[in-house]
Structure 1
Amino acid sequence: MPPTRRLATALAAATLALSLAACGEPEEEAAQDPGRSDRAAEVNTSPDQDRIRTDEVPDIAALVPAEIRERGTLEVVNSVGATPPLNFYATDDETVIGVETDIASLVADVLGLELRQSTVDWANIFVGLDSGRYDAGFSNITVTEERKDKYDFATYRLDNVAFEAPAGADWTVEGPEDVAGRRIGVGSGTNQEEILISWSEQNEAAGLEATDIAYYQTPTDYYLALSSGRLDAYLGPNPSAAYHSRVSGETEIIGTISGGGDEIQGEIAATTRKDNGLVEALAAALNEVIDNGTYAQVLDRWGLADEAVEESEINPPGLPRQDG
């Protein structure tokens, strides 16, 4: 289940607290907060987002199914988590902000529609799409072969996971051999855990040391372990790791890999009910904002430029079906 709204608010507030020191002159910052890293960056987590916008493109708007065009709104569903920069609550504990919301806003602009967002728990995203209550999901949804049975996808971000280490780390991760003998944290039951176990097994088969895998359930716990030297790195979703390293200055990304592991590059996509006629318009709108530069501005704003796609694809190969 997604984290609670209360936790989302607490973490957003913590993020704001990290960024407040960036409002003064450098000398003033050092005097007020001598422990604050020069690597930290300011990020706007207030409800006043001043989002990046773009213009309607009539030829693309014409691709929208008639029922939606006549209604005049793009009904988008999301699930709000506790960790920026995906969908999360602003400091007012009400306004949903983040990279997913900004990309959905750009798509609605191109289609000449008013963006209307609904926030539900993760499972109800798909229930709402199935019923036709919502037109599209923009909620960090990965393309999988199983999901393609019921949904259409228009891709807009790479699905990557990242190794996050204390700032100033003197090593990097490019492949399995780089984590041999290292103590790496991970969440139980995640794709990241599967990747790490597979890499450790490959290393042992090659005569290298196994990876010492440590399990953590909350960011508070694994960041404490990183800061105290009990972990060499933590393997988790790239967006949250990139955001944390950016606003705290206490950690850095030392390597990224596909969320699909060695088999396939995972991709995040706008998701619609299969064959409802909207996916072509979504893909065309996404390609428009990729071409006009506003997409890149949104990714830069949230520190996710390394997850950019060159073009939006409809129903590309997804993560393989699970056995059984």
Structure 2
Amino acid sequence: MPVTRRALAPAAVALAATLLLAACGSGGNAAADLAGGNKAGTAPNGATINLTPQQNRVTTAKVDAIAALVPEEVRRRGTLQVAASVGSVPPLGFYATDDKTVIGTEPDIAYLVGDVLGLKVELNPVSWENVFVGLDSGKYDVGITNVTVTEARKEKYDFATYRLDILGFEAKKGGSWKVTGPADVAGHVIGVSSGTNQEKLLLAWNDANVKAGLKPVDVKYYQNSSDYYLALGSGRIDAWLGPNPSGAFHAAQTGETEIIGTYSGAGDTVLGKIAATTKKDNGLVKALNEALNETIKNGSYGQVLKRWGLDNEAVKTSEINPPGLPKTN
């Protein structure tokens, strides 16, 4: 981890200690710890987030005409193998209070798709990079795990969109610093996860700043929430750039941080979109697209987003392979 640059403030020490215990405690759960040890948290929109394994998920009916679009091999198997990159901060994909049940917005969307297609969903918790390794090898049918559409990824994968991609810069609460564009991050220390579209966006902003004669961004890489929140609390990074839903939830629970700026995950030229991701030309994307549009039409999709506080990221329709984060970014 990067070397600490300034002394710890008392509030930062308290936050760091809480998160360290969440990461290292025997049987601990970071999501529950962030919610004060409760079985529920509060989303920024006021929705109560159930953190327990007993989810009472939103369900919907099978649609035979859409199920018929599923490739025969998958229909015979009867299961939809879903890759899920699991974090520790709600509401996207994380472990419930039992530390083994994967819950969140992304699993709920996956189960809805499975309902429409008449397939039993099997969630496979894997690291971010192994989502794509598993898709490439055919081990997993689809990744439903906050994957942003990019032009580079479209060369290898097909996409069926289901949510807007909004990134958030999370910093200590109470400062005057706001982020609205590239110039605002010049000279700052920003944390990000490698291999993500937020990393690509941050590096593109940094390149633009350097070309404009501004100070470069000092980019620090973290993969685990316990690590980057310790770094944020101790002042080793000035801000964390990640999915806005997770950052906003964390800020709402701790009261120690705030979102100082949001941005489209595809930059300033394209509206970023999150999509179900499947191996290119494997014949599954049409079925996924039709299933998602069925859930949007029948209202079950809206119910899922509302229960997790993400109704402001809803799409009106699922698209197949829309414009994504440009390669030039």
> How many matched pairs?
300
Q: 1:245 is matched with which residue? A: 251
Mapped partners of 1:77, 1:222: distance in 2: 24
The answer for unaligned runs of 5 or more in structure 2 is 1-21
Question: Aligned to 1:63, which of 61, 69, 73?
Answer: 69
When structure 1 is superposed on structure 2, of 161-170 and 132-141 the one drifting more is 161-170
Mapped partners of 2:90, 2:252: distance in 1: 11
Q: CA deviation at 1:220?
A: 4.7
Q: CA deviation at 1:181?
A: 7.1
Q: Is 1:297 matched with 2:264?
A: no
- Any idea what the Cα deviations from partners look like across 1:176-227, whole Å, max 9, x if unmatched? 45x277745333752253144246447x55xxx7576463636456545655
Mapped partners of 2:105, 2:95: distance in 1: 12
1:283 maps to amino acid: N
Question: Aligned to 2:146, which of 123, 135, 140?
Answer: 140
Q: 1:215 is matched with which residue? A: 220
Mapped partners of 1:286, 1:201: distance in 2: 42
- Any idea what the Cα deviations from partners look like across 1:146-188, whole Å, max 9, x if unmatched? 32222211111222221223445556433345x2777453337
Q: CA deviation at 1:66?
A: 2.9
- Any idea what the Cα deviations from partners look like across 1:260-306, whole Å, max 9, x if unmatched? 32343332211122222211111111112122222222223333333
Q: How does 1:222-237 map to 2 (within 5 A)?
A: 223=229, 233-237=239-243
Q: Is 1:276 matched with 2:282?
A: yes
Structure 1 vs Structure 2 CA RMSD: 3.6
The answer for unaligned runs of 5 or more in structure 1 is 1-5, 25-37
1:315 maps to amino acid: N
Q: 1:32 is matched with which residue? A: none
Q: CA deviation at 1:12?
A: 7.0
**2:166–2:264 CA contact under 8 A, matched in 1:** yes
| Partner SS state of residue 146, structure 2 | coil
Q: Is 1:185 matched with 2:172?
A: no
**1:43–1:247 CA contact under 8 A, matched in 2:** no
**2:47–2:306 CA contact under 8 A, matched in 1:** no
Q: 2:206 is matched with which residue? A: 197
Q: 1:14 is matched with which residue? A: 30
| Partner SS state of residue 43, structure 1 | strand
Q: 1:35 is matched with which residue? A: none
1:281 maps to amino acid: A
Mapped partners of 2:127, 2:249: distance in 1: 23
Mapped partners of 1:285, 1:238: distance in 2: 26
Mapped partners of 2:246, 2:27: distance in 1: 12
When structure 1 is superposed on structure 2, of 72-81 and 277-286 the one drifting more is 72-81
Q: 1:320 is matched with which residue? A: 326
Q: CA deviation at 1:257?
A: 0.7
CA distance 1:59–1:188, shift in 2 (3 Å):
closer
Q: Is 1:288 matched with 2:304?
A: no
| Partner SS state of residue 262, structure 2 | strand
TM-score, normalised on structure 1?
A: 0.76
Q: 2:98 is matched with which residue? A: 92
**1:184–1:213 CA contact under 8 A, matched in 2:** yes
**1:40–1:249 CA contact under 8 A, matched in 2:** no
CA distance 1:232–1:7, shift in 2 (3 Å):
closer
CA distance 1:49–1:188, shift in 2 (3 Å):
closer
Q: 2:15 is matched with which residue? A: none
1:85 maps to amino acid: P
Q: How does 1:63-142 map to 2 (within 5 A)?
A: 63-142=69-148
